[in-house]
Amino acid sequence: MSINSEKFSLLSKLPQYVFSSVNELKHQARLNGEDIIDFGMGNPDQPTPRHIIEKLLESSVQGRNHRYSVSAGLPKLRLAISNWYKRNYDIKLDPEEETIVTIGSKEGLSHLMISLLAPGETVLVPDPCYPIHSYSVLIARGNIKEYNSIDDEKLLENIELGLMSDPKPKALIISFPSNPTTQTVDIDFFTKVVELAKKYSIIVIHDFAYADICFDGYKAPSFLQAKGSMDVGVESFSLSKSYNMAGWRVGFMCGNREVISALKRVKSYLDYGIFQPIQISAITALNETQDCVKQIRDTYKSRRDRLIDGLGKAGWDIDPPKATMFVWAKIPDKFKSIGSLEFSKKLIKECNVAVSPGIGFGKLGNEHVRFALIENEQRIQQATRSIKKLFK
């Protein structure tokens, strides 16, 4: 349905996702009986580990868990979060003051922007970026200023240029390992970001959704490991990818007390916390065996290898990403001129393969498409064979 965006002013800033035209093609092809191999959305295809589901079953039959919960998250879950940081990153957090549970990262980031921004204030966001990084700002009636995040060498330089702009940004969003670009950074990068944050008096928001999905010996650092980071920023994490819990909607945000308490205040007006059995199951996910995290990581690695190998055989050479559940592929020269949207449509129509066009993540994404590694290896092979035929 078309909506009159003069009547509802925010809607003029929230156009239909670019992805919707690719989704429509995919849908039509499926209605016509085509088997589409779908690398479109970063929606994990594997089930949540059994021991986490068992905990949900056990806790959901207990009546006391059916009441309103705690908006900021159960104290035991916040303790599990601070223990997770201690174990994984040697960071000490005060569960009461420096952690908050969110209804997935998207909810946390969106309400964070509402908590921090006055209408018209500016936030520096990456281009390309995961869409909520920019739309959360617009939803909060803020303005976005984009920085070029595609050029690894100039990343810090581009961030600093953005920070020097007028009007002066209030906050900066970063996210590594990155969706969609799969870029990774080391702790030095975060240390320099902290220095910039202090120099320009801004708040840093780091989205750490792919903390655990790292390969080939690379371990992604936490922003909170950087000296002084707790003075300037927060980090958001999600159980969606590390534990295949995308539909459960659990995440958390940690770091600077003032920022966390601002989010807590706003959320205390908006929600009563996640359904308690889900929070109890999240405690199990964080506290108990982490073998499942390794298995999930290994699955993405094998799929990454199969895809890179298959695309290579088709003549499409891509450097294997060190992290995330994506492959960010530069469109081959032969098809570059048509742009990422038309190229994605071509892949659906001629190969029965769905990917996300890079333009959907920002204008600088237009020379790339993103494959989400949510199909099994056999189907990945089938997809790369079709692509090989197209390229011939």
Ligand X SMILES: Cc1ncc(COP(=O)(O)O)c(C=O)c1O
Does the protein bind ligand X through residue 106 (CB under 6 A)?
Answer: yes
**What are 45's two structure tokens?**
């295809």
Does the protein bind ligand X through residue 384 (CB under 6 A)?
Answer: no
How distant, in Å, are the alpha carbons of 15, 26, 134, 272, 312 from that of 356?
17, 11, 18, 35, 19
Name which of residues 304 to 343 contact ligand X (CB under 6 A).
none
Does the protein bind ligand X through residue 110 (CB under 6 A)?
Answer: no
For β-strands 171-174 and 122-127, DSSP reports them as parallel
Does the protein bind ligand X through residue 279 (CB under 6 A)?
Answer: no
Does the protein bind ligand X through residue 300 (CB under 6 A)?
Answer: no
Q: At closest approach, how far in Å is the CB of 243 from ligand X?
A: 11
Does the protein bind ligand X through residue 95 (CB under 6 A)?
Answer: no
Q: Identify any residues that bridge with 127 across adjacent strands, giving them in sequence order.
A: 148
Q: At closest approach, how far in Å is the CB of 106 from ligand X?
A: 4
Does the protein bind ligand X through residue 255 (CB under 6 A)?
Answer: no
For residues 72 and 234, give the distance between their C-alpha atoms in angstroms, rounded to a whole number: 15
Stretch that binds ligand X, among 101-109, 275-283, 335-343, 381-389 (CB under 6 A): 101-109
The dihedral sign for the CA sequence 328, 220, 117, 167: negative
Among 130, 189, 190, 361, interactor with ligand X by CB under 6 A: 130
Does the protein bind ligand X through residue 179 (CB under 6 A)?
Answer: yes
Per-residue burial over 323-339, b = 16 or more CB atoms within 10 Å of its CB, e = otherwise: bbbbbbbebeeebeeee
- CB contact at 8 A, 369 and 344: yes
* Residue span 34-73 as binding mask against ligand X, x where in contact by CB under 6 A, dash where not: --------x-------------------------------
Smaller CB separation from ligand X, 72 or 351: 72
Among 121, 207, 212, 375, interactor with ligand X by CB under 6 A: 207
How distant, in Å, are the alpha carbons of 207, 323, 327, 330, 386 from that of 319?
23, 12, 9, 10, 21
Does the protein bind ligand X through residue 284 (CB under 6 A)?
Answer: no
Give how many residues touch ligand X by CB under 6 A.
Answer: 13
Helix/strand/coil for 188: helix
* Residue span 344-373 as binding mask against ligand X, x where in contact by CB under 6 A, dash where not: ------------------------------
* Residue span 219-238 as binding mask against ligand X, x where in contact by CB under 6 A, dash where not: -------------------x
Smaller CB separation from ligand X, 251 or 310: 251
Smaller CB separation from ligand X, 104 or 233: 104
Longest CA pairwise span in the chain (Å): 63
Nearest to 192 by CA among 151, 163, 168: 163
Query: What count of other Cβ atoms lies within 10 Å of the Cβ of residue 273?
Result: 19
Which amino acid, 70?
V
Residues contributing to the site for ligand X (CB under 6 A)? 42, 104-106, 130, 175, 179, 207, 209, 238, 240, 246, 251
